[in-house]
Chain A
């Protein structure tokens, strides 16, 4: 494991994301305020470039008190979506909503002195 300096925090726009190739190891860096969520750019489904896809809100189906459907709406939490097949992962946990085995590999990250460091596997 190496702690790698990948740049100043100012180079990572808030509410956005960058995908980096660091010495051949690919990660997606998603910034939300002071928090960084970093994952390996590889989908557990078929190995697709998951972090290079879109980020969209989770879709939920609302129900009435009688369990009747009240239609589809976007929920508050965000999903990272693999562009190969549309597999979705919670941006903050890296977990797939319905398939417990599908989980993104989390890469430890920290901000020190306004610089971003990632723990990249050797």
Chain B
């Protein structure tokens, strides 16, 4: 029938329908193609340094752990009044746009059946994602709590941070050693953040600390020096996880989520890195390793060039620096997602600028709408084999002191369409 193809006519040996993907789809069905792609990465050790739990799905569990009986009572009352508005939270405009009006169902969930005897549903969901993408360890951050830094009530961030840290270290992390967590620091209050380091810093599964950095708190403020010293002493990294804030005065003039999201994440990372470097924090805490999470990488190259150009003229305004700003930035750690690959020559140059071979950490951001599977790194044509292995797992293993297992921990999931 085909003049050029030399075709043959036959019935299929096997024929089956695949499911349409909607909000209740099983993660293993959604990620079935990732599982196929992961087959060729079976001898890679992969750590995903930035994935997320969906804490609002378990909000009653978390708010029941609030230390203050008054706020625990308020949360319980709020939950009874409205399930749509999570108790105590400062939900930002934008969160409800994440799933692109139903086009990206996995960011509107989870609504799949995650019931397994004796296993917390969040652990079930994370395992399904890890195994589907061939990820050996997954570091999980919260989702809407990323924006708690903009909450008008400091005591609410402190209470929710403590409750979330308890939920993570008592309920979630003990169930699966492949899940790792970072202590949520209630950065609004340095003393409360120090208490979080003391209380949770050594819990099993905790590999570092995080500041949800969507906030207007200068990272160089003197009130944080004791906090940084404590983390440096413990030898665990500090990760600044960016986020967006559509209510920011600059962002208020952007009318589409796409524009706000593209800029607002980067805005906070740029602000905090600039303050961190120009105030000489790497000189004050030379052993405190910092990770800057979730803004892609293009901004880093811009900031290195920009700060260097101005520093050579105005070094008197940054007297703690002994080297160019870019030299300090090259010693920081950055995460890959959302990776910009529209111009691969640019991408390659940026990888070189940030010293990706040793400083870049693979991150998926699963289950969010702009997630990157591991092949986002494995398929980059300009990386050597060793560079791919470093970025996908070995750099994180070294930074977070995670032992590289002798055999792969991720287990291939059930076949597509047969999950559940």
Contact = CB atoms under 8 A, between A and B. Distances in A.
B375 A46 contact: yes
B376 interface: yes
A20 B16 contact: yes
A60 interface: no
Q: Sort chain A's interface into a size bin.
A: 20 to 34
A29 to B, nearest CB: 10
B393 to A, nearest CB: 19
Interface string A80-93: 01011110100000
A47 B1 contact: no
B73 to A, nearest CB: 41
Nearest to A28: B18
Interface stretch (B5-13, B115-123, B179-187, B312-320): B5-13
B12 A1 contact: no
Nearest to A108: B2
Nearest to A25: B12
B100 A26 contact: no
B33 A86 contact: no
Contacts of A20: 15-18
Interface stretch (B102-110, B194-202, B204-212): B102-110
Contacts of A48: 33
A11 to B, nearest CB: 10
B12 A3 contact: no
Nearest to A42: B33
Contact of A52 (B8, B12, B21, B34): B21
A15 B411 CA distance: 39
Nearest to A48: B33
A5 B376 contact: no
A22 to B, nearest CB: 5
A52 B8 CA distance: 28
B295 interface: no
Contacts of B12: 4-6, 22-23
A6 B15 contact: yes
B372 interface: yes
B15 A1 contact: no
B218 interface: no
A82 to B, nearest CB: 8
B30 interface: yes
A2 interface: yes
Interface string A81-122: 101111010000000000000000000100000000101000
Nearest to A2: B8
Interface in B11-52: 11-21, 30, 32-34, 37
Contacts of B102: 54
Contacts of B417: 21
B18 A47 contact: no
Contacts of A85: 104, 369-371
B7 A83 contact: no
B375 A47 contact: yes
A1 B21 contact: no
Interface in A6-28: 6-7, 18-24, 26
Given A2-B9, A3-B9, A46-B373, A19 B2 contact: no
Contacts of B17: 18-21
A119 B33 contact: no
A86 B8 CA distance: 36
Nearest to B32: A49
Contact of A23 (B13, B32, B33): B13
Given A23-B12, A52-B20, A1 B7 contact: yes
B369 A86 contact: yes
B18 A2 contact: no
A96 to B, nearest CB: 13
B8 A3 contact: yes
Contacts of B371: 84-85
B14 A1 contact: no
B416 interface: yes
Question: 7 shortest A-B CB distances, which residue pairs?
Answer: A1-B5, A19-B18, A83-B21, A1-B7, A86-B103, A86-B100, A52-B21
11 contacts: A19-B18, A19-B20, A21-B15, A23-B12, A23-B13, A41-B18, A47-B375, A48-B33, A54-B102, A83-B103, A86-B369
Interface of A: 1-7, 18-24, 26, 41-42, 46-49, 52-54, 56, 81, 83-86, 88, 108, 117, 119
Given A5-B11, A85-B370, A88-B103, 18 more contacts: A2-B7, A2-B9, A3-B1, A3-B10, A4-B12, A5-B10, A18-B17, A21-B14, A26-B18, A41-B18, A46-B373, A49-B18, A49-B21, A53-B21, A81-B103, A83-B30, A85-B371, A108-B2
